[in-house]
């Protein structure tokens, strides 16, 4: 399973940029999620997986930037934070993302990150 890194409290348009999907994908994913109770699981997942942008955004929501890397864990340890769950903001968030190997697209304002 592992400890994964995620963005916190970002608007849909920023989430779309971070996930690398076109504008409007978050709204389409929310609409599909709203339909889930009206569809059987196979049909719902078929809809999700047949649209690569929806699948990509959904996966980013579940997995974030993936399992923490050694350098990211080192940064957490140096700061004496809990290795299993936590949140960082400001420069600490940027440093953690850099150590995770994440580059933030130009124009995206700083945001908090969490790990769990």
Q: Are 115 and 85 in contact (CB under 8 A)?
A: yes
Say if residues 94 and 5 touch (Cβ distance below 8 Å). no
- Could you tell me which residues come within 8 angstroms of residue 98 by beta carbon, excluding any fewer than 6 positions away? none
Domain interval for residue 78:
5-115
Per-residue pLDDT of the chain (116 residues; tens, 9 = 90+): 579 999 998 999 999 999 999 999 999 999 999 999 899 999 999 999 999 999 999 999 999 999 999 999 999 999 999 999 999 999 999 999 999 999 888 888 889 999 99
Element (H, E) at 67: none
Residue 19: the pLDDT is 95
Q: For residues 31 and 43, what is the distance between their CA atoms, to the nearest angstrom?
A: 15
pTM: predicted TM-score of the whole model, two decimal places: 0.88
Domain count, the chain: 1
């Amino acid at each position: 399973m592992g400890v994964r890194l995620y963005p916190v409290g970002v608007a849909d348009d920023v989430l779309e940029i971070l996930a690398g999907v076109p504008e409007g994908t978050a709204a389409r994913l929310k609409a599909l999620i709203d339909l889930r109770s009206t569809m059987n699981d196979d049909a719902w997942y078929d809809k999700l997986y047949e649209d690569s942008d929806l699948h990509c955004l959904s996966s980013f929501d579940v997995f974030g930037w993936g399992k923490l890397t050694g350098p990211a864990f080192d940064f957490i340890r140096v700061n004496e934070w809990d290795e299993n769950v936590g949140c960082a903001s400001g420069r600490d968030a940027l440093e953690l993302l850099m150590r995770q190997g994440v580059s933030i697209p130009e124009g995206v304002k700083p945001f908090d990150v969490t790990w769990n």
